[in-house]
A and B are shown apart, each in its own frame.
Chain A
Amino acid sequence: MLFNSLDFAIFLPVVFIIYWFVFNKNLRAQNGLLLIASYIFYGWWDWRFLGLILFSTIIDYFVGLGLGKEQGDSNRKLLLLVSILVNLGFLGYFKYANFFLDNIAGVFSLFGQDISTRSLQIVLPVGISFYTFQTLSYSIDVYRRKLEPTRDFLVYSAYVSFFPQLVAGPIERATRLIPQFSSKREFNYSKAVDGLRQILWGLFKKVVIADSCALYANLIFDGASDHSGSTLVMGAIFFTFQIYGDFSGYSDIAIGVSRLFGFNLMKNFSFPYFSRDIAEFWRRWHISLSTWFRDYLYIPLGGSRGGTWKTIRNIFVIFIVSGFWHGANWTFVAWGALHATFYLPILLFNKSRQNLDTVADQRLLPSLKELLQLVITFGLTSFAWIFFRADNLDHLSIILSRIFSRSLFTIPALDPRFDTFMLEQLLAGALSRLPSYDPRWSPVYTLLWVLLLITVEWFGRKNEHALEKFGKNWLPVFRWIFYYGIIYSILIFGGPEQQFIYFQF
């Protein structure tokens, strides 16, 4: 079930009303309802994979109980190993099996050995990377004795499958979410209203920003060889906003929906494009994943405590693994490695924690220096998104070779249909007609929406989400008009419906 679908628009109020009106006084019934709702929500895509979640839940529940009882180190390690193998085994099989088979065949072919591998027909279960990491964090935290294992199977299974964040995060820690399932929840008016505001802004980011930008990013990148370098740079900028709108929009909706049910999820995005360096960017982008890797990979590897070379190694490991987490493709590995390279100078000069506050903290506008820092960081991240967006390494090399060519210095085609290269192709008969076009999604409109996004987020950059305090001092009638305006933009200017990008991860 998609957040931006009619199905969800019916599902959510129904669950909300039963939750607060029928089961208000019964915590177990509320948890049971959330569990059933979560399984319906997930099963809407493909009910067959419910078994996978259930299996993973049962294994980690009993591993947790075992870890709680066991005192011997070797037995505890063995239990943790079971959890890791089961969870990473599923992830490895569903997500990476074909990648490894193809690459093994590729390596053999380098030595003249032609081994034929047949790609397995594997469907990637939606959200497997997210809930796998969530359950793993539980087992590891119980192993580290940072968390008492829960004996309540209902609470545990509701924690694993909680529908707002099940398929695309935030990846919640058990230490934070399980206690919320175990304690009575009261309806809180301000929290619920704020949740609605966050849902509204999340929908705007997904439907208006991401889906409209996707139209152009796809058009440009799918025909990369037909476009000039400058147009491809435009494509990178569209994609930069597409992926932000898509993923942070999803997180906003997830967090907002959770607030309607009395839960607090962790902040997943903290206005990352207002970062002054790459280190700050990574403190603000996909926070739940970054901190997961920090706590369960970087620190166990030694973090920055083992000297310069070990730190550099650890930085590369964490970024490359993080890249690989996104997908079974060398482009993601390259994307991770590129970010590690960007991060390295900051680390070596010990500047990784120099921008811990919010940019232009007590001012309306940034200083010239800050503006320059923002632009450079934005440029670096946008450039890295090209690696992320490329279909494969060949596609990436086409894009980069076109960008780093003379055509970089031509005027970019604001409407990629009228790119000079496209017109040449058209005249040469290589294309039968220009792609279809709806004036609602003209690049000019899209850029105006992006400008609105930047403005609203700039004013809200110190808050939990952009609309938390935006317009709070206005007369209610004006605030409502603003909200209706956002709904209008969602209904009119929303791009053609696209799947959430992060579902594929």
Chain B
Amino acid sequence: MKSFLARLSLFSGILVFFLVAIAILIPATPRTKTSLIFAKLDKDQLLQNTAPPRVLLLGGSNMSMGIDSNILKKELGLNPINTAIHASIGLDFMANNVIEYIQPGDIVIVSLEYSQFYGQYMYGGEELLRTVFDVDRSSLESLDLRQWLSIIRFIPKYSISKINPTEYNFKEPENIGVHERDSYNEFGDAYIHWTKPAETIEPYHRIEKFYNQGVVDLLIDFEGLVNARGGKMVVTYPAIQEDTYQNMREQIQHVQVELEKSGLTIMGTPETYIVSDDLLFDTPYHLTYEGVQRRTNQLVEDLVNVGVLGKE
């Protein structure tokens, strides 16, 4: 038995050693360099350089693929920065990354996919791992233990992708794709899909994980930090496909109850942001341009309603 375990440990140890070494030593592949996570660098630049008065959008792809900042700019007279990239980066990292850029007068609008409130999603997943290893290694230091525990299981897949020949034998497509670094406009909104038609989208199933109170606690802490820097924070709900809403109704209503009793400023209700199938692009959270317009207008209306600002 000892001999069996010793040999098995040696065999597995060599495998793990190589996987970790690959993750650390091999830089981002050519294919990854064009991927949307690299947009973090551009969005950090926007956060750094955009002049006040500003409105910052924070969340997963429901924000990046669901808002037209041109409308916000026109209707609110603020300079928008859409910081959103992917839900799997996790609220914890998103908030931590944005906070250092907050300036007095900034308005931060947070819209999180409902899965963020369940399980360990808020601590990030594969996209966070790729962000901290490939895009910005300096942010490795900012990860806490829960984030590490959340992303560590993606290391084998991540490492393997670096020795996948198709990651290197890669030609950049002639046209910009929907989910790439270059898919974002000058405000950080994903816009390439705006000209594309609606697609038939399979609804998401109910969320089978436990509610995580840590999300609301983090939002409360984050609001405190934003306020301390002279900004304001509001929370809104993501636009969501009607069938997905029905499948997740119980979990969504729980999120609503918890947010409303948190003392945070909440805009609208989940029902306000339900969208029909003809407004969906490629997931139950991603909108066609018509959907983007409707949602952005709704957001403007809600901002006015909660009294955070007045319409110009």
- B15-42 CB mask vs A (1 if < 8 Å, else 0) is 1000000000000000000000000000
Query: Which of A6, A20, A196 is the one whose CB lies under 8 Å from B1?
Result: A20
On chain B, the number of residues with a Cβ less than 8 Å from chain A's Cβ atoms is 17
Give residues 134-168 of B contacting A (CB, 8 Å). Answer: 153, 156-157, 160, 163-164, 166
Q: Which residues of A contact B15 (CB under 8 A)?
A: 484, 487
User: B4 to A189, Cβ gap below 8 A?
Assistant: yes
A187 interface residue (CB < 8 Å to B): yes
Chain A residue at smallest Cβ distance from B11: A480
Give residues 264-311 of A contacting B (CB, 8 Å). Answer: none
Query: Which of A20, A192, A491 is the one whose CB lies under 8 Å from B160?
Result: A491
Query: Which of B4, B11, B156, B166 is the one whose CB lies under 8 Å from A440?
Result: B166
CA distance A193 to B160 in the complex (A): 25
Q: Which residues of B contact A488 (CB under 8 A)?
A: 160, 163
Chain B residue at smallest Cβ distance from A445: B166
Give residues 160-213 of B contacting A (CB, 8 Å). Answer: 160, 163-164, 166, 169, 197
A439 interface residue (CB < 8 Å to B): yes
User: A492 to B11, Cβ gap below 8 A?
Assistant: no
Q: Which residues of B contact A74 (CB under 8 A)?
A: none
Whole-angstrom distance from the CB of A413 to the nearest CB of chain B?
A: 21
User: B157 to A187, Cβ gap below 8 A?
Assistant: no
CA distance A8 to B112 in the complex (A): 31
User: B160 to A432, Cβ gap below 8 A?
Assistant: no
Q: Which residues of B contact A187 (CB under 8 A)?
A: 1, 4
CA distance A310 to B15 in the complex (A): 59
User: B166 to A196, Cβ gap below 8 A?
Assistant: no
User: B160 to A439, Cβ gap below 8 A?
Assistant: no
B8 interface residue (CB < 8 Å to A): yes
CA distance A80 to B197 in the complex (A): 62
User: B156 to A192, Cβ gap below 8 A?
Assistant: no
Chain A residue at smallest Cβ distance from B8: A196
Give residues 447-501 of A contacting B (CB, 8 Å). Answer: 480, 483-484, 487-488, 491-492
User: A6 to B8, Cβ gap below 8 A?
Assistant: no
On chain A, the number of residues with a Cβ less than 8 Å from chain B's Cβ atoms is 18
CA distance A446 to B32 in the complex (A): 24
B45 interface residue (CB < 8 Å to A): no
User: A432 to B4, Cβ gap below 8 A?
Assistant: no
B3 interface residue (CB < 8 Å to A): yes
CA distance A491 to B1 in the complex (A): 28
CA distance A497 to B289 in the complex (A): 32
Q: Which residues of A contact B14 (CB under 8 A)?
A: 480, 484
B interface, by DSSP: helix, strand, loop or mixed?
Answer: helix
Chain B residue at smallest Cβ distance from A483: B11
Whole-angstrom distance from the CB of B96 to the nearest CB of chain A?
A: 27
Chain A residue at smallest Cβ distance from B7: A193
Known A-B contacts A440-B166, A491-B156, A492-B160; A193 and B4 likewise in contact (beta carbons under 8 Å): yes
CA distance A189 to B1 in the complex (A): 7
Whole-angstrom distance from the CB of A132 to the nearest CB of chain B?
A: 28
Q: Which residues of B contact A492 (CB under 8 A)?
A: 160, 163-164
Q: Which residues of B contact A439 (CB under 8 A)?
A: 166, 169
CA distance A93 to B11 in the complex (A): 48
Chain B residue at smallest Cβ distance from A440: B166
Whole-angstrom distance from the CB of B245 to the nearest CB of chain A?
A: 22
User: B3 to A189, Cβ gap below 8 A?
Assistant: yes
Whole-angstrom distance from the CB of A43 to the nearest CB of chain B?
A: 14
Give residues 229-260 of A contacting B (CB, 8 Å). Answer: none
Give residues 411-457 of A contacting B (CB, 8 Å). Answer: 432, 438-440
Chain B residue at smallest Cβ distance from A493: B164
User: A192 to B11, Cβ gap below 8 A?
Assistant: no
User: B163 to A432, Cβ gap below 8 A?
Assistant: no
Q: Which residues of B contact A196 (CB under 8 A)?
A: 8
Whole-angstrom distance from the CB of A200 to the nearest CB of chain B?
A: 11
CA distance A6 to B125 in the complex (A): 15
User: A440 to B164, Cβ gap below 8 A?
Assistant: yes
User: A432 to B157, Cβ gap below 8 A?
Assistant: no
- A309-335 CB mask vs B (1 if < 8 Å, else 0) is 000000000000000000000000000
User: B4 to A192, Cβ gap below 8 A?
Assistant: yes
CA distance A101 to B178 in the complex (A): 47
CA distance A480 to B18 in the complex (A): 14
CA distance A488 to B8 in the complex (A): 17
Whole-angstrom distance from the CB of A451 to the nearest CB of chain B?
A: 18
- A179-193 CB mask vs B (1 if < 8 Å, else 0) is 000000001010011
- B66-82 CB mask vs A (1 if < 8 Å, else 0) is 00000000000000000
Whole-angstrom distance from the CB of B193 to the nearest CB of chain A?
A: 13
Q: Which residues of A contact B11 (CB under 8 A)?
A: 480, 483
**Could you show 19 A-B contacts with beta carbons less than 8 Å apart?**
A20-B1, A187-B1, A187-B4, A189-B3, A192-B4, A193-B7, A196-B8, A432-B197, A439-B169, A440-B166, A480-B14, A483-B11, A484-B15, A487-B15, A488-B163, A491-B156, A491-B157, A491-B160, A492-B163
Other A-B contacts than A187-B1, A192-B4, 9 sampled, CB-CB below 8 A, are A20-B1, A432-B197, A438-B166, A439-B169, A440-B164, A440-B166, A484-B15, A487-B15, A488-B163
Interface residues of B (CB under 8 A from A): 1, 3-4, 7-8, 11, 14-15, 153, 156-157, 160, 163-164, 166, 169, 197
Closest 7 A/B residue pairs (Cβ): A491-B160, A439-B166, A187-B1, A492-B164, A189-B4, A440-B166, A192-B4
